[in-house]
Amino acid sequence: MNELPKDAIKCLDKGFVRLVDSMGGDDAIVQSARVSYGKGTSKVSQDRGLIRYLMRHRHTTPFEMVEFKFHCKMPIFVARQWVRHRTANINEYSLRYSEARDEFYYPDPDNIEFQSALNKQGRMGEVDSELKQKVQRYFKEISERSFEIYSELNEAGVARELARAVLPVNLYTEWYWKNDLHNLLHFIGLRSDGHAQYEIRVFSDAMASFVKEVAPFAWEAYQDYVVKGMRFSKIEQNLLERKLPDRVIDDIQEDVAYQLTASLHANKPRSDEDLFPLYKDQGGSDSLDDFNLKWSSGEIDTGNVRELREFKSKIETLRQS
Amino acid sequence: MNELPKDAIKCLDKGFVRLVDSMGGDDAIVQSARVSYGKGTSKVSQDRGLIRYLMRHRHTTPFEMVEFKFHCKMPIFVARQWVRHRTANINEYSLRYSEARDEFYYPDPDNIEFQSALNKQGRMGEVDSELKQKVQRYFKEISERSFEIYSELNEAGVARELARAVLPVNLYTEWYWKNDLHNLLHFIGLRSDGHAQYEIRVFSDAMASFVKEVAPFAWEAYQDYVVKGMRFSKIEQNLLERKLPDRVIDDIQEDVAYQLTASLHANKPRSDEDLFPLYKDQGGSDSLDDFNLKWSSGEIDTGNVRELREFKSKIETLRQS
Amino acid sequence: MNELPKDAIKCLDKGFVRLVDSMGGDDAIVQSARVSYGKGTSKVSQDRGLIRYLMRHRHTTPFEMVEFKFHCKMPIFVARQWVRHRTANINEYSLRYSEARDEFYYPDPDNIEFQSALNKQGRMGEVDSELKQKVQRYFKEISERSFEIYSELNEAGVARELARAVLPVNLYTEWYWKNDLHNLLHFIGLRSDGHAQYEIRVFSDAMASFVKEVAPFAWEAYQDYVVKGMRFSKIEQNLLERKLPDRVIDDIQEDVAYQLTASLHANKPRSDEDLFPLYKDQGGSDSLDDFNLKWSSGEIDTGNVRELREFKSKIETLRQS
Amino acid sequence: MNELPKDAIKCLDKGFVRLVDSMGGDDAIVQSARVSYGKGTSKVSQDRGLIRYLMRHRHTTPFEMVEFKFHCKMPIFVARQWVRHRTANINEYSLRYSEARDEFYYPDPDNIEFQSALNKQGRMGEVDSELKQKVQRYFKEISERSFEIYSELNEAGVARELARAVLPVNLYTEWYWKNDLHNLLHFIGLRSDGHAQYEIRVFSDAMASFVKEVAPFAWEAYQDYVVKGMRFSKIEQNLLERKLPDRVIDDIQEDVAYQLTASLHANKPRSDEDLFPLYKDQGGSDSLDDFNLKWSSGEIDTGNVRELREFKSKIETLRQS
């Protein structure tokens, strides 16, 4: 197992992530969602739109209908964080059944950093090269010496399950790991985040690249609504609304009315003169002339009608709350 | 079982929620969080602050250390939504073992509404009293007739597990239901929401009132950071920042600098002349005079320093993204 | 959805089970087991043997590596039992989003039986045809009347989520249901059992026939070691050993020694004169003549050596415990 | 944390298990079971009998209604096996947030054994004292040197999350661990078994002693029906029935008829002359004289009627299958 499998993404110095199998993709999400909503969703004609709607409204069960199975190899201290995601199925290389292999993680100099003062669980700031060399020397020393001891005890016939207790947590282990897309995205959301430890982030990013291939719409929606979404607490909203003048909110509302109009127009082709009445229906307050001016200037993006409506009411809430 | 148990909260016409037992509360959350963070949290001296920090940063496992067990009675169609929360443990009254009881849900006139046109899964708009009476008459008709049939078949010796198949989903059932606080809050977040069906919301609200009593800090934090939090998607943020002028963002930032200053002052008493340098450190741009003016005007709320810092950097992101 | 999908197995009068997708089979079980046991299993060369070993020793995780997704349609009272298997992922047809369809379960006369006196949750004993007809008439009456009422309320615009509360639990619903093989086998073990209600057994049996096709070795092993296994409690063992004379146990032991010998012989061809010493090693007490007599009479089956050894020590325990 | 908490059970050289809290006991099992079975169980008047019935028939959900929370301290390699039980809630001491403590597991000489030749995952056979001393010396060497290195890197300011990677898996960690009784018993069943690694067995046994105190009937039933139960596979049954002469089975059946009679007598006091007809009803074939002889000789144990009946039909199956 010393060589990288062909279809694997290399992670750290000796680890990897390999997609062994998967079941379903964007299509399977749509298929199972349609069973829930029955004929009622006949109008939501586009898969991408439906997937984005599901993600936006946290309808998570259709995403559970897609399954991924990975073969991964990583240091024990990474496996220890990973295993906390409890919905996954795991078969790990056992040091009770099998002999340990001489494979340890040695950090690349670029990833040896100081303890962050701000973030109790993070690292931050360049370490000088002398200290870096010391770290690497120490990793090598402990790894080699512990493996030497392990091997000697093993050859002397000491029970493997006991002898392995001298091995450090930078030893590589490997497993098959299977999970559904909803829980996999949750994993990636937490472990590809800037607060996650670098060494697990690498593996999470590798799995992410497989997800992106297998279920591109779901991946995009997850990015837009969850990962890059920004949440304001009730307290922050209080601060926000005290400083967000009504005229700014009016401007935003107006802009959304434009977007909505343009979206309606784009979805169902009609002549330009039908647009202004539609715009008025959406609550737009510009005059016909101003409207036409903005329309022909092309500053209006077309988008998802439903989403714009939701944004409009969200902004409205900000003023009234 | 026709009478309401003494310690129960009545729900709908014949249902209830009763807290049978619970294990731990705010104290248990803090206790288990401290084992994770060890000595490192010695400075976070207050339980409420720690609980709010955990909730804000989605550190959910300490909330799993608190457990609730409820005895509930509700219509079958409510039980069918409820049971989808899969982490709970359930023991339900069995119509294979035991005879059905003549208890059916009859909706109160106030809760008979029209199908919502906007929300495919909701109700909306006042129904006239004639139609309301018809609904009630029909519920009564089906319930009584089906129970008559059930009873006759039951007396004739037909297998209970088969005879019960004629009973409608407004029949009451009951169960013991046990869950941990993290998953219970998730349940309440979904089922006490305005989009949930009225008939389950009533039960969710009843459970919420017990949670509030048993773990008041956790409840408050959940409200502030999750339920009443507002999330903006990446798309919405794009719209927002296009219309949020820099001067507005500056104003907000400035305000936060004041809040931070005041918080630091409140947490660690010092003389007023120490405040201005602190304020400068936080990025405030007012002159000393202006600062003192605002300070003495009392328009500054004191709050949690860490939360204010986080808000400041969030707002900063809004400008730069 | 009134017609049966082509690839579906019909269940009851209007229901079905359809295998939508699956991931892996016997091969995937072996593949993931080998990662756990590493080089150590190189000698267990045959997949079937390894799968049987895993099942026998309750090493369940490799069976979790195989995934099944079904599309099913069944009465609500069946769905209510089914949903209690909590590891599955489900997307169900929603009566909040969509209109109910006029499809109800009417039991076949053959399946209308009396309540069992012995088994509080079962049925037993032929019902006369007059009562059978009455049951069918009543099912029809309630189903048709409730659907009439539902339709009228629905047309009058009453909220669907409320109107549906008059529908009986013999109404058909449908869902996508996904689970891993380990948990699926557990489901089948409980729901294809004679104590399960007839109406869910039909669906369980249909799923079983798909499992048998996708993972035949796993299916066979599950039957041999779990479903058709027989468990004796400590109390029953006490009774058993009091009445099981030593000579019977001796006979059984002797027989196993033969089986073992024959197995060793079959696995590793050797000349007949090597057999008797092997037999002695296994604890056989017959003389050479007697041994040869039995051997040439062909009354010895060859089997799995490991399994025979385990049986031998189990029988031994029975004597000594 | 170097001292043993007062209420803790010491495990290995520096670890412990401590029951922090629990919710419910035997009473809670009975309470929730009664809601499932309703009035139907009114006759099962004794809690112990009901609990044993539930366990015997694998009605597991009532056991899920009891919850235990433990505080445990154990070596990392033990924690790695432990964490695979996925229904538990865990808060573990974090080496990202907090500094490692100088506490390592040094095996007691008695527990240093050779690798088992028969059992790939076990240990077996006395090791000579010279090798034992070497093992201990090596454990000490690696533990001390790795901690020295860790401390030096930590003081130099290297990120804790990286520096900890040199620490071996015999380092102690600790956590809060919460689980329901059903899953806890399953854990104990696997981890207190002879095939489990000695080092985790110690912890499992400690938890078992707490379970025994909190829910004694459930514990006893689990021992009788699961742990000490003996399961025969279909293959083994085939072998068994070929060698179990009919007369032996007859004897066993006869014996059970006596037991049943005595049980009925004991449960519902009646005069001795009522016994013989009862005995005949149970299928006994002795004459009245023989029956009275055995009865007065006192060789009959009274027991649970239901259980005896089940055993009788099981033995019957053995003959007919």
DSSP string, D61-121: GGGGG-EEEEEEEEEHHHHHHHTT-TTSEEEE--TTTS---S-B----GGG-EEEPSS-TT
- Find the mean pLDDT for residues C110-133: 85
Q: Order of strands, edge to edge, in the sheet holding D9-11?
A: D9-11, D15-23, D67-75, D172-180, D89-92
Q: Is the pLDDT of residue B277 over 60?
A: yes
Residues of chain D with pLDDT under 50: 1, 39-45, 321
Measured distance between the N- and C-terminal CA atoms of chain B, rounded to whole angstroms: 60
Side chain identity at residue A98, one-letter code:
S
| Close Cβ partners of A172 (under 8 Å, ≥ 6 residues apart) | A14, A15, A73, A74, A75, A76, A101, A103, A104, A105
- On average, the pLDDT of chain A sits at 87
Quote the minimal CA–CA distance from D182 to chain B in Å: 11
The pair of structure tokens assigned to C257 is: 């020694």
CB atoms within 10 A of CB B235: 20
Measured distance between the N- and C-terminal CA atoms of chain A, rounded to whole angstroms: 60
**Cα–Cα dist B258/B131, whole Å:** 58
Q: Which of A2-11, A81-90, A291-300, D53-62 has the highest mean pLDDT?
A: A81-90
pTM reported for the whole predicted model? 0.86
Torsion sign (Cα): A73, A74, A75, A80? negative
| Close Cβ partners of D226 (under 8 Å, ≥ 6 residues apart) | D55, D185, D189
Strand, helix or coil at A118?
A: coil
Task: Indicate yes or no: CB of B244 within 8 angstroms of CB of A245.
Answer: no
User: For D166-215, where are the alpha helices, taking DSSP H only?
Assistant: 181-191, 198-214
Strand, helix or coil at C36?
A: helix
**Cα–Cα dist B50/B66, whole Å:** 16
Specify the range with the lowest mean pLDDT, choosing from A242-256, C50-64, C246-260, C294-308.
C294-308
| Close Cβ partners of C271 (under 8 Å, ≥ 6 residues apart) | none
What number of residues does chain C have? 321
**Cα–Cα dist C21/C6, whole Å:** 15
* Plot region of D298 (φ>0 → left; ψ -120 to 50 → alpha; else → beta): left
Torsion angle (degrees, nearest 10) of CA C257, C260, C261, C263: 160
For position A40, what pLDDT does the model report?
42
Specify the range with the lowest mean pLDDT, choosing from A247-261, B3-17, D15-29.
A247-261
Q: Is the pLDDT of residue B224 over 70?
A: yes
- Find the mean pLDDT for residues A123-136: 92
Torsion angle (degrees, nearest 10) of CA C257, C262, C263, C267: 150
Task: Indicate yes or no: CB of B311 within 8 angstroms of CB of A56.
Answer: no
**Cα–Cα dist A240/B232, whole Å:** 13
User: For chain C, where are the alpha helices, taking DSSP H only?
Assistant: 26-37, 47-56, 76-82, 129-155, 160-163, 181-191, 198-214, 216-222, 234-243, 246-267, 275-281, 288-297, 305-320
B55, closest residue in chain A (CA to CA): A233
For position C280, what pLDDT does the model report?
82
Interface of A with C (CB under 8 A): 20-24, 28, 31-33, 35-41, 61-62, 64-65, 67, 69, 71, 89-94, 97-99, 174-176, 178, 180
Which residues from A are below 8 Å from D160, CB to CB? 115
Q: Domain boundaries in chain B? A: 9-105+168-227, 234-320
Name the phi and psi angles at B230, rounded to 5.
Answer: -125, 130
CATH class of the region A9-227: alpha beta
Q: Is the pLDDT of residue A6 over 70?
A: yes
For position C153, what pLDDT does the model report?
97
Residue D2: exposed, middle, or buried by beta-carbon count in 10 A (0-12, 13-18, 19+)? Answer: exposed
D251, closest residue in chain C (CA to CA): C243
- Find the mean pLDDT for residues A240-261: 76
Q: What CATH fold (topology level) applies to the domain D9-103+169-227? A: Gyrase A; domain 2 (3.30.1360)
For position D240, what pLDDT does the model report?
72
Whole-number percent of chain B with pLDDT over 90: 54
Which residues from D are below 8 Å from B62, CB to CB? 91
Active site residues of A: 191
ipTM: 0.83
Measured distance between the N- and C-terminal CA atoms of chain C, rounded to whole angstroms: 60
For position C210, what pLDDT does the model report?
98
Short-list A86, A93, A102, CA closest to A72: A93
Q: pLDDT higher for A278 or A196?
A: A196
Q: How confident is the model at residue A260 (pLDDT cuts 50, 70, 90)?
A: confident
> Buried (b) or exposed (e) across A138-160, using 16+ Cβ within 10 A?
bbeebbebbbebbeebbeebbbb
Count of pairs with CB atoms under 8 A, one residue in A, one in B: 93
Short-list B8, A67, A9, D215, CA closest to C178: A67
What is the tens place of the pLDDT at every residue in A36-81? 765 444 444 478 888 988 998 889 999 999 999 999 999 999 999 9
Q: How confident is the model at residue C1 (pLDDT cuts 50, 70, 90)?
A: very low
Quote the minimal CA–CA distance from C114 to chain B in Å: 4
What is the tens place of the pLDDT at every residue in D137-165? 999 999 999 999 999 999 999 999 999 99
| Close Cβ partners of C17 (under 8 Å, ≥ 6 residues apart) | C8, C9, C11, C70, C71, C72, C203, C206, C207, C210
Q: How confident is the model at residue B149 (pLDDT cuts 50, 70, 90)?
A: very high
**Cα–Cα dist B294/A195, whole Å:** 37
Q: For an interface test with A, give the residue of C39, C69, C73, C96 to mutate (most A CBs within 10 A).
A: C69
CB atoms within 10 A of CB B253: 19
For position D40, what pLDDT does the model report?
42
- CATH for B9-105+168-227 is 3.30.1360.170
Name the DSSP class of C258.
H
CB atoms within 10 A of CB D274: 14
Interface of C with A (CB under 8 A): 20-24, 28, 31-33, 35-41, 61-62, 64-65, 67, 69, 71, 89-94, 97-99, 174-176, 178, 180
For position C191, what pLDDT does the model report?
95
**Cα–Cα dist B46/B29, whole Å:** 12
For position B1, what pLDDT does the model report?
46
Task: Indicate yes or no: CB of A165 within 8 angstroms of CB of D77.
Answer: yes
For position B44, what pLDDT does the model report?
43
- Find the mean pLDDT for residues A76-99: 94
**Cα–Cα dist B202/B192, whole Å:** 8
Name the DSSP class of B166.
G
**Cα–Cα dist C254/D314, whole Å:** 25
Q: Is the pLDDT of residue C241 over 80?
A: no
Name the DSSP class of D193.
S
**Cα–Cα dist B96/A196, whole Å:** 50
Which residues from B are below 8 Å from C161, CB to CB? 121-123, 197
Q: How confident is the model at residue A274 (pLDDT cuts 50, 70, 90)?
A: confident
- Find the mean pLDDT for residues A98-120: 90
- C47-56 and C26-37 helices cross at what angle (nearest 10)? 70
